Amino acid sequence: MTLGTLIGACGGEAVQVPDLNAEATGAYTSDLLSDVMAHCPDGAVLITVQNHTNTVAVCTLVGAPAILIVHGREIPDDMRAAAAREGIALLRTTDDQFNASLKIGRALAAGEQA
Protein backbone atom coordinates (compact mmCIF):
# COMPACT_ATOMS: atom_id res chain seq x y z
CA MET A 1 0.00 0.00 0.00
CA THR A 2 1.26 3.48 -0.80
CA LEU A 3 1.69 6.06 1.93
CA GLY A 4 -0.82 8.24 0.10
CA THR A 5 -3.49 5.51 0.34
CA LEU A 6 -2.61 4.79 3.93
CA ILE A 7 -2.93 8.45 4.94
CA GLY A 8 -6.36 8.58 3.31
CA ALA A 9 -7.44 5.38 5.06
CA CYS A 10 -6.48 6.49 8.55
CA GLY A 11 -7.56 10.12 8.13
CA GLY A 12 -4.14 11.27 9.21
CA GLU A 13 -2.25 14.43 8.38
CA ALA A 14 0.69 14.24 6.02
CA VAL A 15 3.06 16.43 8.01
CA GLN A 16 6.06 15.72 5.83
CA VAL A 17 5.99 13.04 3.16
CA PRO A 18 8.88 12.89 0.68
CA ASP A 19 7.11 10.36 -1.55
CA LEU A 20 3.37 9.65 -1.37
CA ASN A 21 3.92 6.62 -3.62
CA ALA A 22 6.43 5.01 -1.23
CA GLU A 23 5.28 1.55 -0.16
CA ALA A 24 4.29 0.57 3.38
CA THR A 25 4.14 -3.20 3.74
CA GLY A 26 2.75 -3.28 7.28
CA ALA A 27 2.54 -1.41 10.55
CA TYR A 28 3.94 -1.72 14.05
CA THR A 29 2.62 -0.03 17.16
CA SER A 30 4.89 0.63 20.10
CA ASP A 31 6.16 3.40 22.33
CA LEU A 32 9.22 1.46 23.45
CA LEU A 33 12.06 2.07 21.07
CA SER A 34 13.93 -1.08 22.09
CA ASP A 35 10.78 -3.02 21.31
CA VAL A 36 10.65 -1.33 17.91
CA MET A 37 14.31 -2.22 17.34
CA ALA A 38 13.61 -5.82 18.24
CA HIS A 39 10.34 -6.46 16.44
CA CYS A 40 9.32 -3.80 13.90
CA PRO A 41 9.27 -5.44 10.45
CA ASP A 42 11.15 -3.85 7.57
CA GLY A 43 8.79 -1.62 5.56
CA ALA A 44 6.27 -1.13 8.39
CA VAL A 45 4.81 2.23 9.42
CA LEU A 46 5.58 2.92 13.07
CA ILE A 47 2.58 4.07 15.10
CA THR A 48 3.82 5.76 18.25
CA VAL A 49 3.56 8.57 20.72
CA GLN A 50 7.32 9.16 20.69
CA ASN A 51 7.74 12.48 18.90
CA HIS A 52 11.51 12.97 18.98
CA THR A 53 14.62 12.45 16.88
CA ASN A 54 15.51 9.08 18.38
CA THR A 55 12.35 7.63 16.86
CA VAL A 56 13.67 8.69 13.45
CA ALA A 57 17.01 7.04 14.24
CA VAL A 58 15.30 3.79 15.15
CA CYS A 59 13.11 3.85 12.04
CA THR A 60 16.17 4.43 9.90
CA LEU A 61 17.80 1.36 11.40
CA VAL A 62 14.82 -0.95 11.08
CA GLY A 63 13.78 0.30 7.64
CA ALA A 64 10.44 1.84 8.58
CA PRO A 65 9.38 4.29 5.83
CA ALA A 66 7.01 6.38 7.97
CA ILE A 67 6.16 7.40 11.52
CA LEU A 68 2.55 8.07 12.53
CA ILE A 69 2.45 10.25 15.65
CA VAL A 70 -0.72 9.73 17.66
CA HIS A 71 -2.77 11.98 19.96
CA GLY A 72 -2.08 14.90 17.59
CA ARG A 73 1.21 15.55 19.37
CA GLU A 74 3.42 18.35 18.11
CA ILE A 75 6.33 17.28 15.94
CA PRO A 76 9.42 19.25 16.92
CA ASP A 77 11.60 20.91 14.30
CA ASP A 78 14.63 18.73 14.98
CA MET A 79 12.50 15.62 14.40
CA ARG A 80 11.24 17.06 11.10
CA ALA A 81 14.81 17.88 10.06
CA ALA A 82 16.07 14.39 10.98
CA ALA A 83 13.19 12.74 9.12
CA ALA A 84 13.81 14.90 6.04
CA ARG A 85 17.48 13.95 6.14
CA GLU A 86 16.69 10.24 6.36
CA GLY A 87 13.79 10.29 3.88
CA ILE A 88 11.26 9.11 6.45
CA ALA A 89 7.67 10.33 6.21
CA LEU A 90 6.02 11.99 9.20
CA LEU A 91 2.29 11.56 9.67
CA ARG A 92 0.03 12.63 12.50
CA THR A 93 -3.39 11.70 13.77
CA THR A 94 -5.56 12.79 16.68
CA ASP A 95 -6.44 9.11 17.27
CA ASP A 96 -4.83 7.10 20.04
CA GLN A 97 -2.55 4.13 19.31
CA PHE A 98 -5.39 1.59 19.32
CA ASN A 99 -7.69 3.43 16.94
CA ALA A 100 -4.88 4.45 14.61
CA SER A 101 -3.71 0.82 14.50
CA LEU A 102 -7.26 -0.38 13.88
CA LYS A 103 -7.75 1.95 10.88
CA ILE A 104 -4.39 1.14 9.35
CA GLY A 105 -4.87 -2.58 10.00
CA ARG A 106 -8.21 -2.51 8.19
CA ALA A 107 -6.74 -0.56 5.28
CA LEU A 108 -3.83 -2.99 4.99
CA ALA A 109 -6.19 -5.99 5.11
CA ALA A 110 -8.43 -4.42 2.46
CA GLY A 111 -5.36 -3.76 0.32
CA GLU A 112 -4.32 -7.40 0.58
CA GLN A 113 -7.79 -8.60 -0.46
CA ALA A 114 -7.94 -6.19 -3.42
Partner 1 sequence: MSAPGSQSPVAPDERPGLGESGNDPLVLLELIQRLKVRDVMTADLVTLPRDASMRQAQELMRQKKISGVPVEEKGRFFGLVSIDDIIRALVAGTIHESCGRHMTTKLVVLEDDMPLSFALRYFDRYHYGRFPVLNRDRRLVGIICQRDINRALLVELTRELQRLESVSVQRGGEGAAGSLYLLREFPICKYDFENAGKAANQIKQVLQEKKFATKVIRRIAVAAYELEINLCVHSDGGVLSWQVSSGRAEVIARDAGPGIEDVEWACRDGTSTANEWIRSLGFGAGMGLVNVRRVSDEFEITSKKGSGTTVKAVIYIEGGAA
- Given a contact cutoff of 8 angstroms between Cβ atoms, the answer to whether 66 and 87 are in contact is no
Question: In sequence order, what are the residues at sequence separation of 6 or more whose Cβ sits closer than 8 angstroms to the Cβ of residue 105?
Answer: 27
Residue 97 found at the interface with partner 1 (CB under 8 A): no
Nearer to partner 1, 48 or 93 (CB): 48
Residue 96 found at the interface with partner 1 (CB under 8 A): no
Nearer to partner 1, 22 or 57 (CB): 57
Stated as kind and residue range, the H or E segment containing 26 is: strand 26-29
- Given a contact cutoff of 8 angstroms between Cβ atoms, the answer to whether 57 and 36 are in contact is no
Which of these segments, 4-12, 45-53, 66-74, 106-114, binds partner 1 (CB under 8 A)? 45-53
Binding site for partner 1 (CB under 8 A): 31-38, 42, 48, 50, 52-55, 57-58, 60-63, 78
